[in-house]
Structure 1
Amino acid sequence: MEGAAKGEVVQIGPLATYVAEPPAPNAHPDTAIVFFTDVFGLRLNNPKLMADKMAETTGIRVYVPDLFFGEGLDPDSLPIPDTAEAARNQTGILWTVKKTFTIAGLVPWYLRHKASKHLGHADEFIQALKTEHGLKTLGAVGYCYGAPFCTRYNASGDAQAIVLVHPSSLKAPDDFASLRAPVSFALAEEDHAFGPELAAQAKAALKDKPFDVEFVTYKGTAHGFGCRPNYAIEDVRKGFEGAFAQTCSFFKKHLI
């Protein structure tokens, strides 16, 4: 994504955090959206640009914490297929060997930045937003790696609504049955991390919940379309725009 970020990075609790401001004057000063990134973190400019647009669209301030302390994964180290068809074609011996070597090379990073190692930092960050910044209503959107943080704060009552965009590292049924506030899923057509079986389990666990639940799957997309889209591919562009609009609409409905 191209463009210049408009916000600034400040320290909130233990985490450096990008802050995107809504149009002035802020009509919802005690409300905010927390944007939990994928594994690339703020090493990519995309989350900053998306947060700026999200704040503009919703009228709500957006916070993007850097859970990786400046060590977001190098985007060039983890190629992601752009389309559902490309993801389905990742089969065969050569691809398996390539995947094995790629994952092996990333093991040290994953060991340093397992979600479990950053839950405490995220908890401190959320509490700082509430106690030091006076926030009373929080939404959370999680892309891939960021999804478990969203479900954590939904289940704890800290987040009043969450959106999960091509989520990963979620387990059924516990991560779904424990949810207690509105949740929206924006899913890829082809996704190794959240495929049809897991989606079906999530739907089953949430079907009788007394709050708003929605599932939307975007045609022709693969994991990553919601935060690292290839605009040259029409289905991917439409998927990205659709998931972003879905996110903003859900937060406007449940946070304002």
Structure 2
Amino acid sequence: MNDCCLRGFKWDSQPIGKESTLAGRGCYVTGSNAHAAILLIHDVFGWTFPNVRLLADHYAEEVGATVYVPDFFGGDVLPADIILAGPEHWGPLDLPGFFQKNSKEARTPEIFECAKVLRDKCKRLGAIGYCFGGWGVFRLGAKEHKGLVDAISTAHPSYLTEEEISAVAVPVQICSPEHDWLYTEELKAFSNKIIPTLGIPYDYQFFPRLNHGFAVKGDPKEPEEREGMARAKNAAVIWFRQWLHAN
């Protein structure tokens, strides 16, 4: 795992939601709209990472939705302090084992279980994923599962394939940094070639000079990174306002 996926800074705030359960797993829940929901699929830091919960709080308030952040790492949590300290401190961590345990094959069924529970209880459902969560939202929005979610959004998706991109069948938004070894130039070009031919609304947002992970783990003390985090958040807010509150 390249260090660009595991670098960032915590924001100065406290989450205001609560911990509950969803489809039998721990889940951070924030917001109170019974008709519109967002399933947020976390990045490598997991469902307890403060930045992810703070983003969920923003979406709950600014979109007008209940936001659910389930635990898709089976109770495991990478220690944020060690990860944020840099690669030279990762020695005690079994990162290869962690990512093998949390592969697509292992976590896809859980992601769909959560989405189906929310689909049954909500009139409108969106899904947003960061890094690890990016491929997850594309799978939820695939043609073979059309009707499960109403729209998806992702920032700096990881391990996304051309097949997953080609299969998307719901409105899709991608927030893409200029420098991203996981969402490569080839995948960016493929997305921008194929998705416009699929007959679905498509919003591609480009973030010059920023790196993979910026939307969750940028440095708020750096003006360009702070502005990038805010812009990505605002883009997702506008996107979900449209698709979750449509008549």
Where on the TM-score scale, by shorter chain, does this alignment land: which range?
0.7 to 0.9
Could you say which residue in structure 2 is the equivalent of 1:93? none
- Residue of structure 2 aligned with 1:152, choices 139, 154, 163: 139
Q: Residues 35-184 of structure 1 correspond to what in structure 2 (within 5 A)?
A: 35-79=40-84, 105-131=94-120, 134-155=121-142, 156-157=145-146, 158-172=148-162, 174-184=163-173
Verify the 8 A CA contact 2:37 2:118 in the aligned structure 1. Answer: no
**1:53-86 CA distance string (max 9 Å, x none):** 11110111111111113313223454599xxxxx
1:209 Cα offset (Å): 2.0
Verify the 8 A CA contact 2:39 2:127 in the aligned structure 1. Answer: yes
Unaligned segments of structure 1, at least 5 residues: 82-97
Inter-partner Cα distance in structure 1 for 2:200 and 2:221:
37
Verify the 8 A CA contact 1:219 1:235 in the aligned structure 2. Answer: no
Letter in 2 for 1:71: D
1:44 Cα offset (Å): 1.3
Q: How many percent of aligned residue pairs carry the same amino acid?
A: 26
- Match of 1:227, SS state, is helix
Q: Which has the larger radius of gyration?
A: 1
TM-score (norm 1): 0.84
- Residue of structure 2 aligned with 1:31, choices 11, 30, 36: 36
Distance 1:45 1:79, change over 3 A: closer
Unaligned segments of structure 2, at least 5 residues: 1-10
TM-score (norm 2): 0.87
Letter in 2 for 1:147: G
Inter-partner Cα distance in structure 2 for 1:212 and 1:45:
31
**1:177-201 CA distance string (max 9 Å, x none):** 1111110110111011012221001
